[in-house]
Amino acid sequence: MEISKTRTSFYRRLYVAWLIDNGTACSVPALMDATGMPRRTAQDTLAALTDLDIDCVFVQQAGERNNAGHYAIRDWGAINPQWIAANLAQIKTTLGYP
């Protein structure tokens, strides 16, 4: 069965939000390391979280300049993060992520 681009895009967004919320990958380089996705895909996925009403913000480190800081999920909107945790293996398999 071929997996649709809509499903993989949706799963990618859920997985990125889950990685951020769990503190596993809270920066673009960390997301790239955790998933193997290119920088541009990681950046685009972060920007697209708002399409799912997931409130993801960049938290600037105190006293630092430029992009020193991390991403954080402030609100999941209608998404249930417990569903993501329960289906993590399926999501990673569908996306081909380690």
The DSSP annotation for 32-61 comes to HHHH---HHHHHHHHHHGGGGT-EEEEEEP
**Roughly what angle, to the nearest 10 degrees, separates helices 5-21 and 28-35?**
120
Please report, in tens digits, the pLDDT of each residue of the chain (98 residues total): 688 999 999 999 999 999 999 999 999 999 999 999 999 999 999 999 999 999 999 998 876 666 688 999 999 999 999 999 999 999 999 999 98
CB-CB contact of 80 with 18 (8 Å): no
Domain 5-95, CATH: 1.10.10.10
Distance CA 88, CA 64 (A): 34
